[in-house]
Every structure is written in C-alpha cells, then in structure tokens.
C-alpha cells in the first residue's frame, strides 16, 4: 500500500455500552468507511479518543483495522504525545501492527519552542521506517508549528512526508505548499477549509465529516482537480451546515451521535467527554436531513 489517500477519515473508536472498545464494530466501521469512499483511515487520533485509550487498546485497534482494510487503503496510526521518548517508543510498537504511516501531533501542554518541535519530530521520525505525517492543531495543543519549522523538517527528514494542517490558517497552508520539497503533501485538518486549502496547494483532507459524506468529498476534490471549480463550490456549500454541526462541541461527541442518527451506532464517548445533548442532536438532525443522511 502506497500513498496516503485524499479523503482520509479520522476514525472514531466504537465502544460498547460499558465503554469497552468494540473491536468487532471497529471492523464494521472501517469496512463501511472504505465502501463509502474513504481512501485512507487514521486510527487512534483525536477523533478516535486516543487520550482515553490504553496503550494495549490502541495497539490492538490499529492491528484490527489493518487486518480489516489494510490491503485496500492506507491505515495511519496516531502515535503522538507530549513526551518525546514515549512518542518514539510507541511509534516503534505501532509500526509493528502493520500500519502504513504515522500521524504525530505537536506536543501539547509543554508549549515547546520551534526548536523543540523540530527536535521532537526529528526524533519521532528517526524511530520508524514508516512515513510520518506531522499534525499541527494549535487549538488543542497550545502551540502553533510555524511554516518555517514544517518546511525545515520536510527538507531535512526524508520520511516526514506530509502535514495535517489544522491551524485554521489558509495562508500558513499556502506557504508550506509553495515552499515544500516535491512530493510533500499538505492535508487539510478542518472539513470546512478543505476547498480553500485545495485552492492554495492542499492535496486532501483528514476528515470527520467523511464518516457520513466521504463520497461527496471525493466528488468535490475530483471536480476541483479537473478545473470545475463551480461544481466543487456547490458541494462545499451544500456540506457547510453539516461541517458546522459536527463541531458544535468537542469532537467526536457530535460525529458519534451523527452515526447513531444515520443508523450505525458506535457507542458514546469516554469521560471526560459526554454524549451529545438535545441542542447538538437537533442541529445534527437539521443538517443531516437535507442530505438524506438520517436512518
């Protein structure tokens, strides 16, 4: 399996009623996502509630998804943490599950300077033979990895191959796309910014909405690629209410409720997250009904 995909779903982790990982449901979800148009999966990312999963749960979940769909789509393992030594050690273990690539988030809470971010990711990448995708999400981590740092890593470290850019800055994504070495990919980390980022050099999205509309996202990307910007814009505008509803509160609270409303329940979230309330559920219903997504 080569490449990373264009519509990469940041997969939720299904839980039983007792909030144990439901590995059988994870297989069914992975197969459903691929059938619906996802051409890559992230396992144990933020959407997968990785902070509340044990190491054993994460490794078993990665291996389970690889076994289920790894021969058809890339499976990208989320291995990031704010302890560099621990991130390197866990990345080595994740590589052994058969994952295609690694997704590694900027260290959170520590608030390292840019030099620290560079050294952190240089060490993480050095711990694995797999391609590494950097994940910049300052709204969650408290630190923004600047384009200069991303570009330096892209040039200096051969197996750092992409960045999931979720800073909300299209200008930042554009600069990376403009100055990165050939083959380095900028992946959008915000569903609502996918089309704007395509316009400045992005090449795909790590998506939450693709749990429900992967096919439509692929149509949008394909339309843009063939120069039909108007068609891409129509899809983007059609999906905007869904994008908004899926982020009314902390991810993955809304998308787990949305999957339930779509007839594919995956259980609720683990604490400290709580299930979607009435207001979030009503907003999801209002956004999903016009798209024909309700069960």
By annotation, the residues acting in catalysis are 135, 164
Q: Which residues, in sequence order, are bridge partners of residue 160?
A: 132
C-alpha distances out from residue 152 to 139, 181, 291, 292, Å = 22, 10, 42, 45
Asked if residues 87 and 57 have their Cβ atoms less than 8 Å apart, the reply is: no
Exposure string (b/e) for 227-262, b if CB count within 10 Å is 16 or more?
eeeeebeebbeebebbbebbbbbebbbbbbbbbbbb
Asked if residues 10 and 208 have their Cβ atoms less than 8 Å apart, the reply is: yes
C-alpha distances out from residue 158 to 147, 161, 270, Å = 17, 7, 37
CB count in 10 Å sphere of residue 23: 18
Coil/strand/helix, residue 38: coil
- Give residue 241's Cα distance to chain centre: 20
Query: What CA–CA distance (Å, rounded) separates 182 from 179?
Result: 9
Query: What CA–CA distance (Å, rounded) separates 76 from 82?
Result: 19
Cis amide bond preceding 252, omega within 30: yes
Tokens linked to 210 = 């693709």
Coil/strand/helix, residue 185: strand
Query: What CA–CA distance (Å, rounded) separates 146 from 124?
Result: 18
């Amino acid at each position: 399996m080569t490449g990373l995909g264009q519509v990469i779903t940041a997969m939720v982790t299904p839980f039983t009623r007792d909030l144990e990982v439901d590995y059988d449901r994870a297989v069914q979800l992975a197969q459903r996502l691929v059938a619906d148009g996802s051409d890559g999966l992230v396992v144990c990312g933020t959407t997968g509630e990785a902070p509340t999963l044990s190491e054993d749960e994460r490794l078993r979940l990665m291996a389970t998804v690889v076994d289920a769909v790894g021969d058809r789509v890339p499976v990208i393992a989320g291995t990031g943490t704010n302890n560099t030594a621990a991130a390197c050690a866990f990345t080595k273990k994740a590589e052994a599950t058969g994952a295609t690539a690694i997704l590694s988030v900027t260290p959170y809470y520590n608030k390292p300077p840019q030099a620290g971010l560079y050294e952190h990711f240089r060490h993480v990448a050095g711990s694995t033979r797999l391609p590494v995708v950097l994940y910049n999400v300052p709204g969650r981590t408290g630190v923004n990895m600047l384009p200069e740092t991303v570009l330096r890593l892209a040039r200096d470290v051969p197996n750092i191959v992409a960045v999931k850019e979720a800073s909300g800055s299209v200008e930042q994504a554009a600069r990376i796309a403009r100055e990165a070495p050939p083959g380095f990919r900028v992946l959008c980390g915000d569903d609502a910014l996918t089309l704007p980022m395509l316009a400045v050099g992005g090449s795909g999205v790590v998506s939450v909405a693709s749990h429900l509309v992967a096919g439509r996202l692929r149509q949008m990307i394909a339309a843009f690629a063939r120069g039909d910007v108007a068609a891409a814009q129509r899809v983007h505008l059609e999906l905007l209410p869904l994008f908004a509803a899926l982020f009314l509160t902390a991810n993955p609270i809304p998308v787990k409720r949305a999957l339930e409303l779509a007839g594919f329940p995956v259980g609720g979230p683990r604490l400290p997250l709580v299930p979607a309330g009435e207001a979030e559920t009503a907003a999801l219903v209002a956004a999903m009904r016009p798209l024909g997504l309700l069960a």
